[in-house]
Amino acid sequence: MSQQRHGSTPGHVRGDDAVQAFPDLPEATIARLPEYLRALHNLGEAGADTVSSEGLAAAAGVNSAKLRKDLSHLGSYGTRGVGYDVTLLIEQIEYVLGLDQRRAVCLVGLGNLGHALAGYDGFASRGFKIVALFDADESKVGEHIHGLAVRHIADLGRVAVEEKIAIGVIATPPGAAQAVADVLVDAGVTSILNFAPCVLSVPSNVDVRKVDLAIELQILSFHEHRKASLTALPGGRSAATAGNQEAVGS
């Protein structure tokens, strides 16, 4: 997943109180915090009270030096010989990510992808509630998907205010995505997750994150290409010993 930046202050993520409280938090660290959180939740569910930096790094798929540096930005250093308190660290990361407040999400475009996203449990279990669905196709309006009725995109402005929508997810064809982004922005939504393969133009106070699985596949294709050229080198140097793991979205 990539982030579109806006405005005259590159690197500054706007509209997020938690991040404003940590102005020096590097973007790459922010991107890894959800990985740590997921690993910590799994460890907590497995009964762990504490975890070493090596244990947490392995569970999150990063190296432990990077993890310690990331967590030091939050003022979290763990206890020598004991490690990090799992519950405390979960609370701390949730606070930084602003997950202590439940954020209402709307989804625009209820085609193949939109249907799958609307039924995805992973949003609710991680603190995001899809409160409204919108589409421009009259034949879809009124359809119930996982308990929510699809509304017409023309109602988005009113519903966004009523439901205090914080984040808009775009799952329309790329040709419609800019118009949908404009509607979201006019409705006061300042965070957009864009699944359409296009660049959106938005005001400087709006944050856009883009998800494009095809780009991730292209990056993997590059690694395949590189591995093939390395094994073809004289001496057959293989890259297979140094696997790289990067979360989709980082």
Pick out the residues of the known binding site for NAD(+). Answer: 109-114
The answer to whether 140 contacts ligand NAD (rule: CB under 6 A) is yes
For residues 122 and 120, give the distance between their C-alpha atoms in angstroms, rounded to a whole number: 6
Among 173, 205, 217, 238, binds ligand NAD (CB under 6 A): 173
Smallest gap, in angstroms, from Cβ of residue 212 to ligand NAD?
Answer: 5
Among 141, 195, 200, 202, binds ligand NAD (CB under 6 A): 195
Please select the residue that binds ligand NAD; options are 19, 109, 168, 184, rule is CB under 6 A: 109
Q: Looking at beta carbons only, is 36 or 195 nearer to ligand NAD?
A: 195
Q: Is 137 in the site for ligand NAD (CB under 6 A)?
A: yes
Does 16 contact ligand NAD by CB under 6 A? Answer: no
Residue among 128 and 134 whose Cβ is closer to ligand NAD: 134
Q: How many residues bind ligand NAD (CB under 6 A)?
A: 26
Number of H helices, E strands in the chain: 10, 10
Among 111, 142, 188, 249, binds ligand NAD (CB under 6 A): 111
Contact pick of 58, 113, 148, 239 for ligand NAD (by CB under 6 A): 113
Identified binder of ligand NAD from the candidate list 29, 172, 178, 191, rule CB under 6 A: 172
From 112, 125, 244, 245, residue interacting with ligand NAD (rule: CB under 6 A)? 112
The C-alpha atoms of residue 160 and residue 107 are separated, in whole angstroms, by 11
Nearer to ligand NAD, 67 or 169 (CB): 169
197 forms part of the interface with ligand NAD (CB under 6 A)? yes
Give me the residue whose beta carbon is nearest to ligand NAD: 111
* Minimum CB distance to ligand NAD, residue 183 (Å): 8
Q: Which amino acid is at 188?
A: G
Q: Does 96 bind ligand NAD (CB under 6 A)?
A: no
- With beta carbons less than 8 A apart as the criterion, state whether 168 and 193 touch: yes
Say if residues 209 and 2 touch (Cβ distance below 8 Å). Answer: yes
For residue 176, state whether it binds ligand NAD (rule: CB under 6 A). Answer: yes
Does 74 participate in binding ligand NAD (rule CB under 6 A)? no
User: What string of H, E and C letters represents the secondary structure of the chain?
Assistant: CEEECCCCCCCCCCCCHHHHCCCCCCHHHHHHHHHHHHHHHHHHHCCCCEECHHHHHHHHCCCHHHHHHHHHHCCCCCECCCEEEHHHHHHHHHHHCCCCCCEEEEEECCCHHHHHHHCCHHHHHCCEEEEEEEECCCCCCCCEECCEEEEEHHHHHHHHHHCCEEEEEECCCHHHHHHHHHHHHHCCCCEEEECCCCCCCCCCCCEEEECCHHHHHHHHHHHHHHHHHHHCCCCCCCCCCCCCCCCCCC
Give the residues lining the site for ligand NAD (CB under 6 A): 108-114, 134-137, 140, 153, 171-174, 176, 179-180, 195-197, 211-213
